[in-house]
Every structure is written in structure tokens, then in C-alpha cells.
Amino acid sequence: MTKLRLAIIGAGPAGIYAADILLKAERGFDVSIDLFDQLPAPYGLVRYGVAPDHPRIKGIINSLRAIIDRGDIRLFGNVRYGEDITLDDLKRHYNAVIFATGAVHDAPLEVPGVELDGSFGAADFVSWFDGHPDVPRTWPLTAQSVAVIGNGNVALDVSRMLTKHADDLLPTEIPANVYEILKNSPVTDVHVFGRRGPAQVKFTPLELRELGELNDVDMMLYDEDFDYDEASKAAIASNKQVMVIDRVLQGWRAREVGSASRRLHLHFYAKPLEIVGDENGHVAAIRYERTAPDGEGGVRGTGEVRELAIQALYRAVGYFGSPLPGIPFDKKRGVIPNREGQVLHKGETSSGSSQGREVMPGVFATGWIKRGPVGLIGHTKSDAMETITRVINSQGSWWNPAAPAESAVIEMLNERGIVYTDIDGWHNLDQYEIALGEPEGRARVKVVPRDEMVRVSRGDEG
């Protein structure tokens, strides 16, 4: 019987779900799957891209754990594609590869002053407070007044972590270095800016509700933002999610404010124009234009320009994928060009169509690196299904590897001195982190340095 040796690059939800779907699919051939990740631990953005005070994420991790713990998928952590293992290596040992590397960098914000000192990308901040091993251990939390640009869930995560008192994060898996820095933050005001109105936000109701439950934080909303136009009224009346969001915001408007030590301001109809710097090149203010509904669900400029003094700014305008060696990349969209998950040699035509472009045999993509950083976990599963269908149906164009034996990959990594981690190693690290948290009644305490993660995973002394 034909056997598919498949490599998946990326051990986050997209990669793990793709492996699971293929193993459960009716396919007519045997499958052997190796999952590679540049980090020593699996789960990708579920571990390193979600605020630690989201306990429901544990449910997602439990479902991912159940998949990789079955024993029918091998995990190779701490292995970097493009450095430790190349496309030529994959062609030597596998019939096909799926790239599930996600989108981990900040999308660009094209406004003057974005490069000033004190202007940060939300993705970098999230990586820091989630204890990502490849970012600095410190963070310059020195501002009293902070701006956050964006009206999606990442903007809410950033705003919540900036305003929430550090002691209220202690029951979570927040790393010790992050707790100490947050505890000493002098922040008093966080201002969240969105270009459109309250009925057009990208927040989900659950994340928005959590924002209003913060201890010792006043929610500040402004009456001028709630003079709804007909399109907004229609959206509230016809869309349950928008209706719930409006109900939450209206509830906050009715609250008494003024007693809390910190304030979280929501500014709608505010289009950033410029980040203003001081004489030392540091963020000093944000200049923005007041917008108004255009009657078609969008907004128009009013010409009214306002300025607010701040000392730091966070850009939460979306994530962006990164190019991979030997793989085509769409620089405009931050994705690998593909047709239903099968990678194309060249990007789309100027008309936006991918028809007529030649596919790359044996090369596939799934998740955010395939479709861009949109959608929740449910989208990731359906996305993986589409890609796996393409993998199965393209059997005639798979690679013919020279060394397909499962042992050959391990021999290659060992010969190159690549210190990799595996599923047993992840169990070691997982148990170690949980044990670190137990004396303090915490879910876990994350190990942050990469070398320590690898040492604990491999059971090395030292």
C-alpha cells in the first residue's frame, strides 16, 4: 500500500488539526506524520499569543493535547525551518509538507511617527507577557497615559493587561518577570482608538465583557460616540453579536465613574493621523481625526483634528505572516499564495485570481499563513480540512523521497547536532511548570529561557 510521509511545519492549532484530520480521513493509503516547530513547546499562539487570564484557552489546549498524546504523530520541537532543516531536506525524507507557521508579527500601521521610541507592536507585547523565549525579559512600562490603536480582540488583550492590577493575574500562568514589571507599572489611563463606531467593532462579546470586570478600573465612554446612524441601528437590531456588544457598552455608560485608580477609555470614530514625538524622539501625543458614519457602513473624515498627550502607543491592527526560505510569499497580504491550500509558484494575478498559476508539487499551507490572520479556532479546522483534501487528491504529484525511513530524520538531526525536543519532553516541561505553580496556588509558572525549556524537556542535569 502507498504510504504518505508528511512533514508539518508549525505545531500550533493549524498544524495539529491538519494532522488529526488527515489521520481520520478516508484516504486509501498509510500515513506517517512528523510535526516540527521552532519552539521547544507545542501549541503556538495558544501558548504564546493569548493573554494568560483567558482560562477557556485551557479547553483548546486539552483538545490539542489529546491529539498529540495519541502516539500517532511525532513532534520535533526546537527545530527551525530554513536553518536546522531545509526544503531540500524535506524533499529527501517526505512525500509532502504542510506549512502551518501562522502569523506572529505586527501588520504595518502607515502613519507618521510610528517609529518613535515608545511606539510598540501589540504582537511583541503579547509575546513578552506570554513568556515567549525569543523576546527580551524586560519591557519599558514607564508611561502613565497609553494609547492602543485597534478595535479587535488583540487590542482588548493589550488594554486589559496594561490596566489590570498585577496581583489579579497571580492565579494565572503569568511568568514571574512579567508580574514584577506589571506590578511596578505607573499607568493610570489607557485610551483605545477605533476608526469606526461601536456597532462596527471587531471585538467578540466575551472579550468585551471581561474588560468591564477589571478590579479598580473605570470604563470611560463618551456620549458623542453613541449618536447612532441608521446603519448602526440596523446592525444592532439584526445581528445578535452586535446587539450584545451594544448592551455591554450601554451598561458601562450607565456606571458611575471616578473612584478607580485606573481608567480605560474607549474612543470611537477616531482615525489616527500622526504619532507626535518630543525633542528626544519619544512618543508625546497622538493626533487623530474625528470621523463620522458615511451612510454605507463606513466612515468619512470630518476635518476635526484632536490631540491627546500620551507617553506610549501600542499598535494592535492585526498580525502578518513571515516569508519562508524556498517558498513563494505574497508581501502585500503576508501569506503563502495558494489554491485551496496547495501552494502556487507565483502570486495572484492583478485581477485577484489564482487561476492559471502553476502549483508547487508536494507543498501545502494551512492556517493564518494560508488565509491571513482572520477567524477563530473553528475556522482553523475547516481550513485544515480544505488543505488535507488537496493533499489527498494530489497523490500523483507527491515527492519521491530518497530516504523516507522514519529513523532517517532523527539520524539527520543528530548528525547536525540539533538538540530537539519531543512529546515526552513536552510532558516533562508541562509537569515541571505545573509543579512550579503549585506552591503559590497558580495554574503554572512558565519557564521562559529557551535553553532552560530544552534542558527540562530533555531531562538534562544542570
Candidate from 14-23, 172-181, 293-302, 349-358 with smallest mean pLDDT: 349-358
Domain count, the chain: 2
Q: Is 312 a domain residue?
A: yes
Rounded to the nearest angstrom, the gap between the alpha carbon of residue 279 and the centroid of all alpha carbons in its chain is 35
pTM of the model: 0.92
Pair (235, 202) in one structural domain: yes
Q: Classify residue 425: in a domain, yes or no.
A: no
The answer on 311 and 295 residing in a single domain is yes
List, in sequence order, every residue forming a beta bridge with 299; answer none if it has no partner: 293
Domain co-membership, 199 together with 271: yes
Q: Verify that 290 and 179 share a domain, yes or no.
A: yes
Whether 85 maps to a domain, the answer reads: yes
Residue 144 located in a structural domain: yes
Whether 299 contacts 269, CB under 8 Å? yes
Q: Based on the domain organization, do 277 and 296 belong to the same domain?
A: yes
Residue 33 lies in a domain: yes
Which backbone phi and psi does 233 adopt, to 5 degrees? -60, -40
- Asked whether residue 139 falls in the same domain as residue 188, the answer is yes
The Cα 158–Cα 160 span in angstroms is 5
347 and 277 in a single domain? The answer is no
How many angstroms separate the CA atoms of 293 and 154, rounded?
Answer: 24
Q: Does residue 62 sit in the same domain as residue 127?
A: no
The rounded distance, in Å, linking the Cα atoms of 366 and 22 is 13
Q: What pLDDT is attached to residue 58? A: 67
Torsion from C-alpha of 432, 437, 443, 446, nearest 10 degrees: -60
- Any domain includes 203: yes
Domain end marker among 319, 346, 376: 319
- Together in a domain, 300 and 344: no
CB of 179 within 8 A of CB of 169? yes
Give tens-digit pLDDT for 105-120.
899 899 999 999 999 9
Q: Say whether both 97 and 177 belong to one domain.
A: no
Q: The domain containing residue 116 runs over which residues? A: 105-319
Is residue 415, in this structure, part of any structural domain at all?
yes
User: Which CATH number covers residue 395?
Assistant: 3.40.50.720
Q: Dihedral angle at the C-alpha atoms of 352, 356, 360, 364, nearest 10 degrees?
A: 50
377-408 pLDDT, tens per residue? 667 888 999 999 999 999 999 999 999 999 99
For 58-121, the DSSP string reads HHHHHHHHHHHTTSSEEEEBS--BTTTB-HHHHHHH-SEEEE-----EEPP--STTTTSBTEEE
Residue whose C-alpha is closest to residue 95's, from 163, 208, 2, 159: 2
Each residue of 228-274: pLDDT tens digit? 999 899 999 999 999 999 999 999 999 999 999 999 999 999 999 99
Q: Which three cell numbers stand for residue 128?
A: 513578552
pLDDT at 380: 86
- Do 171 and 286 sit in the same domain of this protein? yes
Q: Is 451 part of any domain? A: no
Q: Are residues 166 and 235 in the same domain?
A: yes
Q: Which helix (H) or strand (E) holds 184?
A: none
